[in-house]
Amino acid sequence: MAGWRLLAEGYWRDLLATTGRASVALVSALAIGIPVGLMLGWSGRFYDALRPVLSFLRCLPAYLLIVVFVAIGLGGEAARLTTAALASAWIIADECAESLRTLPRDRIDVLRAFRASDWFILTRVLFFEALGRTIVPSAKTAVGICFVVTTVVEALAIPTYGVGARLLGFFAGAEMAPVFGFLLLTGLAGVLLSALVHRLARALIFWS
């Protein structure tokens, strides 16, 4: 009942703002994580050198990232979106690289025997291999991470609209019914976004 009342009172703007930020962060995370993961998975030298760095970045709490961005002068919406995007991008890159490193090398050797270029192998074979094995599953995981990080960041760097800012205000005023109402509404928004990613994945990976 509290959730419906929040929607009727205009708090749907906060849900839309958070969902929009999480969606932009997800697309940005894929745009960053996929190329980095492909590069690491393709080159064993890069993989061995950067894997510890990637594991370190995966473990950084989101609120520390936004503190760093604010300290270097990146504030406002840019800091919120960058924090949520990077928190997911490292996971996508790591899992994509790991998937390619475990790919049987004889398939690549056969392609090279037929004089396929490295670019052909990377874009026509390894990308689609990673797409089904890692990229799509990690994108589904990244949906939830983007929502969680976006909400946390909104509570730390309070915007005009956003679920995190509203939750912080309700919690500070000991208004627990709106807190639970917002939690349910945000969870439903995450389910809808995850279902959209799933449908897009099924359409994209047509061979499955």
Domain range summary for the chain, segments of one domain joined by + = 2-204
Average pLDDT score over the chain: 80
Q: What is 2-204's CATH number, 1.10.540.10, 1.10.3720.10, 2.50.20.10, 1.10.1200.10?
A: 1.10.3720.10
Tell me the C-alpha distance between 51 and 4, whole Å.
Answer: 46
Residue tagged 């990244």 (tokens):
142
Of the ranges 24-28, 102-106, 157-161, 187-191, the best mean pLDDT one: 24-28
The pTM of the full predicted model, rounded to 2 decimals, is 0.77
Average pLDDT over residues 141-159: 80
The answer to whether residue 196 scores a pLDDT higher than 80 is: yes
The per-residue pLDDT for 49 is 82
Does residue 36 have a pLDDT over 80? yes
How many angstroms separate the CA atoms of 143 and 175, rounded? 28
CA–CA dist 101, 86 (Å, integer): 22
pLDDT at 176 over 70: yes
Q: What is the rounded CA–CA span in Å between residue 47 and residue 98?
A: 9
Beta carbons within 8 Å of 135's beta carbon, 6+ residues apart: 30, 34, 37, 92, 96
* Tokens encoding 190: 């995450």
- For residue range 51-88, what is the model confidence (pLDDT) as tens digits? 788 778 777 777 777 777 777 766 677 778 888 888 88
